[in-house]
Amino acid sequence: MPVSSKRRLIADALRHDIATGRFVAGSRLPGEHDLAERFSVSRGTVRAALSDLADEEYIATHGGVGSLVTFDGAALDPRAGWARSIAATGSDVETVLLRLERLDDAALAAEVGADGPAFVAVDRLRRVADGPPVSLERSRLPRLGALDRAVEQGLVGGSLTSTIAESGLVPAHAEQWVDVVPLDDRDAALLGRPVGTPFLHSRRVTRTRTGDFVECVDSLLAPDRFRLHMKFGSHS
């Protein structure tokens, strides 16, 4: 097997281990020597695969700086979808689809560097255990493949994450900005909170390894349930 194929195999296997919870947030992966023995490859090949995972923000390496959002103290993985991540904490999460339609937005296209102004809008409200909603998320994605078809056919398996994968897009890099905003009339009504209630506001822009636009999602997050957690230093 070519070295590049072995490198991809290792990265895929470790990515699966992380996504399925074999390696939980904050834990260390096995050392390079152990991984080299597990996959019968050189430590250099292991190191290259780990570098790929670090580039994709699946792991933080020496000197790395990373941030993640937590729900009730548990880390959420945006690659798996927040509904799935919240459910993994033991909370019963309900996702309400508010909007699934096509739109044109030239200003957003210029901001995120999309190929054109054609987007699919996916707005979702999440609530836990019959309580008030805890988040409101507005996603904008390129109008292509399964994402475009979702307007008529619905999200694949009811999941935006699965629909993105079905469209052939593979998120690899992301930027995130977080601030605090007061809820306006419309959002306060949706979230069942008084107008002016402070909420965390997160904007995350995701791209493929080659820099192609995948998603821009603006999220309003209840500050009594969500936190932004940052990590510095060596975790590998």
Strand intervals (E) in 81-236: 93-104, 118-128, 133-142, 173-182, 198-207, 213-221, 226-233
CA–CA distances in Å: residue 86 to residues 128, 139, 147, 158: 9, 18, 23, 16
**Which phi and psi angles does 231 have, rounded to 5°?**
-125, 140
Which range (20-29, 71-80, 170-179) has the least confidence? 71-80
* CB 47, CB 35: distance < 8 Å: no
Would you state the pLDDT for residue 229? 60
**Exposure of 61 by Cβ count < 10 A (0-12 exposed, 13-18 middle, 19+ buried)?**
middle
Residue 210 burial by CB count (10 A; 0-12/13-18/19+): exposed, middle or buried?
Answer: exposed
| Model confidence pLDDT, tens digit, residues 109-133 | 999 999 899 999 999 999 887 788 9
Lowest mean pLDDT among 28-32, 41-45, 93-97: 28-32
Q: Output the average pLDDT for the chain.
A: 82
